Chains A and B, each alone.
Chain A
């Protein structure tokens, strides 16, 4: 009951993401008061050049002083809970400050992009309840980026280099011998790169700058003979993340460029590039990356899980991709809520999955017999005719309606709700110990126990008498039940991995694939459920009394519904 109340409260409070953010003056101060109002230069570490003021003035005429953020996913995989944090933060922050947020696909790498990822990302952003101010692509700006690359060369800030990838990898790579080649030469060679005269890896365009971590001259453009999802066969040189990201932010007049902590090492290059080209420079802010325990989120690893059959697909409810979380039954509010709770602190927020689970606040619906090897139960009819019982949709709040449940002479109860021997502390049905049927208003008492003939002697049926509860002695307990139920499939989930950090070789020497929890999925093929759920659609959510929250799986077919258990009602699902 206590848990139910908690969840109810959570539900009633509704999504509190934006409100949460607003309530955190700390966070707002951290993000700088002048940003968005054209006072970027007041931020610590912001580089001011002779052109800064003019650029900021122009920036203000574009934005009108409005906060602008962007969510910039690479369209090369399915979004996971870590992205949800970025979505929640960017969209949430903009919304809370009367600003706008762009959805910008960072599609600079032509090799990894597929149409399905674009639509899936958009779908997930909208599922989380956000509307992008505009949907843009880094590739929309390829022409501009190219023009700027030429300008960068002309300004002596970039050069064409022929060092091999292996040569510039690792610690202390040798400086490029081409660093000081004449501008004219670089211009010509860059043109040659664009025309396809260099093979892949034979030439790159590099920027003349040293990053925080000591990395020299990051690459701005590289040759790739791969068609691009959106620009087709127009280019054979593609810009890198380092080159593209800040310039796209600049083009879109982003005020707050929010990114995870590992990009802190790239902050100075972010400022450097905008200033090297004399274009508007947004302010970059870093926030802590979200790390989940007992799971993996990387695309490559999920592919391995799918390929080895460890999970069914990208949206297998045991995963923490957003489609998986949706399929498992978590409502978007719960995800947002979780992200807001994790906050934007710079420390690494490491979460155990059950914290996310605790945020779930699904709809509450009447009693259902959960997944159990069923036990037929014959009882003399409670009255000569079959009855219908009214069950509240939300037991804690009867004002939210009732639904009818048939109450026939045969009802089914959980196997575990009957014992032949009574021991101390067991309060439910047993010979000589009647039990109440929840919501029915009747108490049943054992008359006869029918068992399978022979060896084990499983109980298959109980014959009981049925007495109206107002005349019967008050039973020690009430149990849930179903009558004229639907047969359905129920999938019960546990965490996918046995160890907290399945990717950590010290914790799991055999690699994450060796750490799979064999009990992560349990399928109950013929569970019985209250027939009132018959018209439910995929992703509809229910509480099955005493068993947990469930959601209709898209695998459901006519006549065969499939339910996923979102969370149990147990105190600590982590220990279940």
Chain B
């Protein structure tokens, strides 16, 4: 009995000591506890509001998020916080090439090591820098985790739910351009056929590239004006001339219709009145020198001067190009001016641009004036594209040849037995013109390119034929599962896109790279990046489709057993992005082919 009493005593005392250890004796404890909780909650809320703010900023309205630039922003902030003294530290974020390196990589640490060594004579290992950057990453909604690998690569893993949410929003809102802020005006200059002659293959590149450029900027939310400047012979015997021009214009329109090109045609005569003023303006500002009767203008940095008036008082291309430049800058008030003109005119255009800056028409920091140069079209013999007889190939003949070849190809594949007459015709046009455009656009415009019907009509590899076929196949998946558009739309709203399979994940990320691809093209005006991307998307889709059942069917009866809706949604998202890509490239896909 005594024993037990003692034991109880010991128990009570032990409990009392425990209480004291936990500051049970201090009267403030309950309210302190309460304040701590309150504080934790406030911190949580603050963090949450910051995240929401970021979310709202990054997707004003329904625009697609450019994940790459999002990450750049995050890492920019992290680097800024980690090394506030560095000016313009290198900010490099790229998609990772292999899954083991995460989804994206930030490779800034190496560069910062160099800078610290050079400017501050500090020796810090890139790994250490990478760690410091990692510790300073702000709250965000897209990063799941980061790892530091190798010498100092920061591997970024995206949050599954983030990617999934972006895909859902893509499905609900359609493909939306990345947010660009205030609407800006772009003027694209392209295709300069000589109005007295027929359009030939030399005009092809300018027309195709220029048209695509316009479509891209339009999609990105710019006001786009496209001008086809028609070169006129350097004189104006008005009446007869106009007659010739009318005939030509009708022919041009035929071709433009084929290639689905829309532009305002403005002949050089439009600028005739303006040219007088241009000469006067240069004279007034004291830039004009007279050389052997000609009025010339020297532009700093360019050895060859511009001739703004010939000794006979006539104007030159230099004059008309200056007039056009001024008109676009000062009358049209363009924010961006793009000249889609062959590389041969590079020096000429650069001189004109420099003259425009010199005279004060624009400031390159505010207004962007760019020459999107391109190489020439070569025949399969790698020589200048000519007919067998050595004549220049007429564009209209080329297009007709394309149509014929496309039809041969479709018949070869016995598509004529499957498709209705209208479908076959639509497929033919789509393939023929799509392939001609795509073959051009898929090559880096700076290089010369070899025109080959055989290559462009090949349905394997990076060709329009392959992509068009892949596209119709993807669109057919849901249709064959009896899932209509309305059901897909409902599912997009309600279903969470699961990205657990490695190939689903890969495809999901690939789809969402679209905005960053577009951003890159808006920056460097190299459209082949979009073709490369679409090709990558199509092959990534094939990988996904080969590995993940979208619709499960009974082997015997062929009856549909199960529809994996989230995968159909991935198909739909792929198709939506491809369709937008085609639209920008000026290619028209068909329902069946």
Closest Cβ of chain B: how far from A202's Cβ, in Å? 11
A226, B40: Cα distance in complex, Å: 8
Residues of A within 8 A of B15 (CB): 307-309
Indicate whether B454 reaches chain A with its CB closer than 8 angstroms.
no
Residues of A within 8 A of B45 (CB): 196, 199, 225, 236
Residues of A within 8 A of B164 (CB): 143
Q: Type the 1/0 row for B23-54, where 1 means its CB is closer than 8 Å to any CB of A.
A: 00000000000000000111011011101100
Closest Cβ of chain B: how far from A356's Cβ, in Å? 26
A197, B48: Cα distance in complex, Å: 9
A226, B164: Cα distance in complex, Å: 24
Closest Cβ of chain B: how far from A154's Cβ, in Å? 9
For B496, give its contact among A143, A150, A225, A226 (CB under 8 Å): A143
Q: Type the 1/0 row for A113-146, where 1 means its CB is closer than 8 Å to any CB of B.
A: 0000000000000000000000000000001100
Residues of B within 8 A of A226 (CB): 40-41, 44
Nearest residue, chain B, Cβ from A200 = B41
Indicate whether B493 reaches chain A with its CB closer than 8 angstroms.
yes
Closest Cβ of chain A: how far from B561's Cβ, in Å? 7
Q: Type the 1/0 row for B111-131, where 1 means its CB is closer than 8 Å to any CB of A.
A: 000000000000000000000
Q: Is the CB of A195 within 8 A of B49?
A: yes
Q: Type the 1/0 row for A306-317, where 1 means its CB is closer than 8 Å to any CB of B.
A: 011100000000
Residues of A within 8 A of B493 (CB): 147, 150-151
Residues of A within 8 A of B7 (CB): 523
A515, B495: Cα distance in complex, Å: 54
Residues of A within 8 A of B52 (CB): 194-197
Q: Is the CB of A61 within 8 A of B562?
A: yes
A234, B142: Cα distance in complex, Å: 11
Nearest residue, chain B, Cβ from A154 = B493
Indicate whether B11 reaches chain A with its CB closer than 8 angstroms.
yes
Residues of A within 8 A of B49 (CB): 195-197
Closest Cβ of chain B: how far from A128's Cβ, in Å? 31
Q: Is the CB of A522 within 8 A of B4?
A: yes
Please give the number of chain A residues whose Cβ is less than 8 angstroms from any Cβ of chain B in the complex: 25
For B47, give its contact among A150, A151, A233, A523 (CB under 8 Å): A233
Q: Which of A248-270 contact B (CB under 8 A)?
A: none
Closest Cβ of chain B: how far from A244's Cβ, in Å? 16
Residues of A within 8 A of B139 (CB): 233
Indicate whether B14 reaches chain A with its CB closer than 8 angstroms.
yes
Indicate whether A227 reaches chain B with its CB closer than 8 angstroms.
yes
Q: Is the CB of B48 within 8 A of A148?
A: no
A144, B496: Cα distance in complex, Å: 6
Q: Which of A190-216 contact B (CB under 8 A)?
A: 194-197, 199-200
Q: Which of B493-524 contact A (CB under 8 A)?
A: 493-496
Given A309-B11, A522-B4, are A227 and B44 also a contact pair (CB < 8 Å)?
yes
Closest Cβ of chain A: how far from B115's Cβ, in Å? 34
* Residue of B40, B44, B161 contacting most chain A CB atoms (<10 Å): B44
Q: Is the CB of A309 within 8 A of B14?
A: yes
Residues of A within 8 A of B561 (CB): 61
Nearest residue, chain A, Cβ from B41 = A225
Q: Is the CB of A195 within 8 A of B11?
A: no
Closest Cβ of chain A: how far from B13's Cβ, in Å? 9
Q: Which of B32-83 contact A (CB under 8 A)?
A: 40-42, 44-45, 47-49, 51-52, 55-56
Indicate whether B12 reaches chain A with its CB closer than 8 angstroms.
yes
Closest Cβ of chain B: how far from A453's Cβ, in Å? 22
A307, B22: Cα distance in complex, Å: 12
Q: Which of B147-185 contact A (CB under 8 A)?
A: 161, 164
Residues of B within 8 A of A227 (CB): 44
A307, B4: Cα distance in complex, Å: 20
Q: Type the 1/0 row for B532-567, where 1 means its CB is closer than 8 Å to any CB of A.
A: 000000000000000000000000000001100000
Q: Is the CB of B494 within 8 A of A225?
A: no
Q: Type the 1/0 row for A504-519, where 1 means its CB is closer than 8 Å to any CB of B.
A: 0000000000000010
Q: Which of A450-503 contact B (CB under 8 A)?
A: none
Closest Cβ of chain B: how far from A57's Cβ, in Å? 13
For B48, give its contact among A225, A307, A522, A523 (CB under 8 Å): A225
Q: Is the CB of A151 within 8 A of B494?
A: yes
Q: Is the CB of A233 within 8 A of B496?
A: no
Q: Is the CB of A143 within 8 A of B44?
A: no
Q: Is the CB of B4 within 8 A of A147?
A: no
Q: Is the CB of A236 within 8 A of B48?
A: yes
Residues of B within 8 A of A150 (CB): 493
Nearest residue, chain A, Cβ from B15 = A309
* Residue of B12, B15, B41, B48 contacting most chain A CB atoms (<10 Å): B48
A522, B12: Cα distance in complex, Å: 16
A309, B12: Cα distance in complex, Å: 7
Closest Cβ of chain A: how far from B399's Cβ, in Å? 49
Given A151-B494, A195-B52, A197-B49, are A233 and B14 also a contact pair (CB < 8 Å)?
no
A575, B519: Cα distance in complex, Å: 84
Q: Type the 1/0 row for A291-316, where 1 means its CB is closer than 8 Å to any CB of B.
A: 00000000000000001110000000
Residues of B within 8 A of A144 (CB): 495-496
Closest Cβ of chain A: how far from B5's Cβ, in Å? 9
Q: Type the 1/0 row for A146-160, where 1 means its CB is closer than 8 Å to any CB of B.
A: 011011000000000
Nearest residue, chain B, Cβ from A62 = B562
Residues of B within 8 A of A147 (CB): 493-496
Closest Cβ of chain A: how far from B85's Cβ, in Å? 31
A150, B495: Cα distance in complex, Å: 12
Q: Is the CB of A233 within 8 A of B4?
A: no
Given A144-B496, A147-B496, A195-B49, are A234 and B44 also a contact pair (CB < 8 Å)?
no
Closest Cβ of chain B: how far from A278's Cβ, in Å? 10
Residues of A within 8 A of B40 (CB): 226
Nearest residue, chain A, Cβ from B13 = A309
A522, B55: Cα distance in complex, Å: 63
Closest Cβ of chain B: how far from A237's Cβ, in Å? 10
A197, B53: Cα distance in complex, Å: 10
Q: Is the CB of B41 within 8 A of A233?
A: no
Residues of B within 8 A of A199 (CB): 45
Residues of B within 8 A of A194 (CB): 52
Q: Type the 1/0 row for B176-214, where 1 means its CB is closer than 8 Å to any CB of A.
A: 000000000000000000000000000000000000000
Closest Cβ of chain A: how far from B48's Cβ, in Å? 4
Residues of A within 8 A of B55 (CB): 195
Given A61-B561, A196-B48, are A225 and B42 also a contact pair (CB < 8 Å)?
yes
Given A308-B15, A523-B7, are A234 and B161 also a contact pair (CB < 8 Å)?
yes
For A236, give its contact among B12, B44, B56, B562 (CB under 8 Å): B44
A150, B493: Cα distance in complex, Å: 9
Given A61-B561, A236-B44, are A148 and B494 also a contact pair (CB < 8 Å)?
yes
Q: Is the CB of B48 within 8 A of A233?
A: yes
Closest Cβ of chain A: how far from B43's Cβ, in Å? 8
A308, B164: Cα distance in complex, Å: 50
A523, B48: Cα distance in complex, Å: 54
Q: Which of B425-447 contact A (CB under 8 A)?
A: none
Closest Cβ of chain B: how far from A191's Cβ, in Å? 9
Q: Is the CB of B48 within 8 A of A143?
A: no
Q: Type the 1/0 row for A27-63, where 1 means its CB is closer than 8 Å to any CB of B.
A: 0000000000000000000000000000000000100
A309, B161: Cα distance in complex, Å: 46
Interface residues, chain B, with chain A CB atoms under 8 Å away:
4, 7-8, 11-12, 14-15, 40-42, 44-45, 47-49, 51-52, 55-56, 139, 161, 164, 493-496, 561-562
| 12 interchain pairs, CB-CB under 8 A | A147-B493, A150-B493, A195-B48, A197-B49, A197-B52, A200-B41, A225-B41, A225-B42, A226-B44, A233-B44, A309-B15, A518-B4
Interface residues, chain A, with chain B CB atoms under 8 Å away:
61, 143-144, 147-148, 150-151, 194-197, 199-200, 225-227, 233-234, 236, 307-309, 518, 522-523
Across chains A and B, which 6 residue pairs bring their CB atoms closest together, nearest first? A195-B52, A196-B48, A309-B15, A225-B41, A225-B44, A143-B496
* Extra contacts besides A147-B496, A197-B49, A309-B14 (18): CB < 8 Å: A143-B161, A143-B164, A143-B496, A144-B496, A147-B495, A195-B49, A195-B56, A196-B49, A197-B52, A199-B45, A225-B42, A226-B40, A233-B44, A233-B47, A233-B139, A236-B44, A236-B48, A522-B4
